[in-house]
Amino acid sequence: MAAATTSCSLLARFGRPSCHFKPPATATVRFWRCCRRSAAMMAVGGGGVAVGREVDEEEAEELRRCLAPERLDVLGQMEPWVEAHVLPLLKPVEAAWQPSDMVPDAAALGAEGFHAACLDIRERAAAVPDALLVCLVGNLVTEEALPTYQSMTNRFEAARDVTGLDGTAWARWIRGWSAEENRHGDVLSRYMYLSARLDMRQVERTVHRLIQSGMSMHAPASPYHGFIYVAFQERATSFAHGNTARHVRAHGDAALARICGAIAADEKRHEAAYTLVVENLFDADPDATVRALAYMMRRRITMPASLMSDGRDADLFAHYAAAAQQAGVYTASDYRSIIEYFIRRWRVEELSAGLSGEGRRARDYVCALPQKIRRMEEKAQMRKKPTAIPFSWIFDRPVDVMLP
C-alpha cells in the first residue's frame, strides 16, 4: 500500500483530519538509522553476524520494509486508540491478585498455622506426576525471563518506552504489562519452594542461564513482527498454564490449580491486547501486516525459552517440549489451533483489497498452514516408543517422552 494511502486511511479511521499529512522528520531519521544499522550488522565479520546472531538478506529486507517512515507513523497514529482500548485491559494494582494471596502468609497465619498450611501444600503436591512438574518448571523458567521480554518490546520502533519514563500509551502499556507479568514467576517460585518436590538450585540456574542467553526473535525492531510474535506467545502461555491447572486439579492439587488458573487469566487479557493491536494493523496496512505474519510463520514462532539450559542437558528445551506434548500441557494441536484462531480473528482469508502480489502469496501461505500442521501431527502419532529422559529439575528422575 502506498505511503499516502496508508497514512490517510489510518488518520480517517481514528477520527483525525486525513489531509495535509506529512511524515515527521524524526520517523525518517529513525528509518535510515535502522537501515544503516541493518546494513552494518550484515557486514560484521563478512558473514552477517550481529550480536552473536546471523542476519540474512531476507531479514534485513524485512526490517527495511517494515521500518519505513510511513509504517512507523502507523504506530504513532494508533496511540489514541491504544489509550482508549488497550490500556484499560490492565488491572489497577489495588484490584490485581498478588503472590502473597496465593501461598501461605506466615505473618497472617502465625507459626503453627503457617507450618500446617505448608504441610498441606506438600501433601497435595506429592500427588502431582513428575511429567507435570517438569512442565511447571518450564512454565516458570519462561515467566522468569521477563527482563528479556521487556527489553525486547522496548526495541519495537515507534512503540516503545524510550527513556523508561515515557508517558505515551505504548510506554505505559509496556510497563504495566511487565508489572503484571512479574507476579507470575514470583508466585510459581514460592509454590515450588514450599512443595519440596523440586531441586530449586537447578531451577534457579536454568533461569539464570536463560536470561543470560537471551532469546531469538526475527526482525526484532519491527513492531509489525513484534506484536504478532507476542500475540502468539500470550495465547500459547495461556494454553500452557490453563492446561496445567486442569491437570494438577485432576490430581488433587487445588492450590496449584488456582495459581496456574490465575496466571492463565492474565495471559488471556494480555493476548486480547496484542491481538487487538495486530487487528488494527491489518485494518490500517493489510499488505505489510500479512507479509509480516507469513514471514514469522516461515521462520516459525520460536518459544521465548528455547535457549534454556540447566548446564547438563544439551537438548533441554526439546526434552521439555516433548514432555509438554506428552502431558497435554502444550501440544502441536494447540499450536495449530492458535494459528487457526488468528486466521479467523484477523480475517486473513478475507484479505484482498490493498494486497500486492506478494501480499496475496503471503495470505495463501498462512491460510494453508493449519492443514500442513495437521498432516505433521498424523505422521508424528506413528513414531517411536517413549524414551526415558532424566530432568535435573526433579533430581534427575526420568520422564517418558516421545522424541522426534
- The catalytic residues are 97, 143, 181, 184, 234, 237, 266-267, 270
Q: How many Cα atoms within 13 Å fall on the side-chain side of residue 260?
A: 27
Which amino acid is residue 304, in one-letter code?
Answer: P
Q: DSSP states of 234-283 as a string?
A: HHHHHHHHHHHHHHHHHTT-HHHHHHHHHHHHHHHHHHHHHHHHHHHHHH
For residue 403, the surrounding DSSP H or E stretch is: none
Would you call 401 helix, strand, or coil by DSSP? Answer: strand
Closest CA relative to residue 237, chosen from 265, 209, 279, 200: 265
Containing 143, the helix (H) or strand (E) segment is: helix 130-144
* Buried-exposed string 170-195: b where 16+ CB fall within 10 A, e elsewhere: bbbbbbbbbebbebbbbbbbbbbebb
- Strand partners of residue 49: 54
State the cell numbers at 84. 482508549
H or E element: which one contains 198?
A: none
Sign for the CA dihedral angle at 148, 153, 156, 160 comes to negative
Q: What element of type H or E holds 331?
A: none
Distance, CA of 176 to CA of 57 (rounded, Å) = 35
Q: Which residues pair with 401 in a beta bridge?
A: 387
Q: In residues, how long is the chain?
A: 404
**Are 225 and 75 a contacting pair, CB within 8 Å?**
no
Half-sphere exposure at residue 386, Cβ-oriented, CA atoms within 13 angstroms: 13
How far apart CA 397 and CA 375 sit, in angstroms, is: 33
DSSP symbols for 318-381: HHHHHHHHHHTSS-HHHHHHHHHHHHHHTTGGG--TT--HHHHHHHHHHHHHHHHHHHHHHHHT
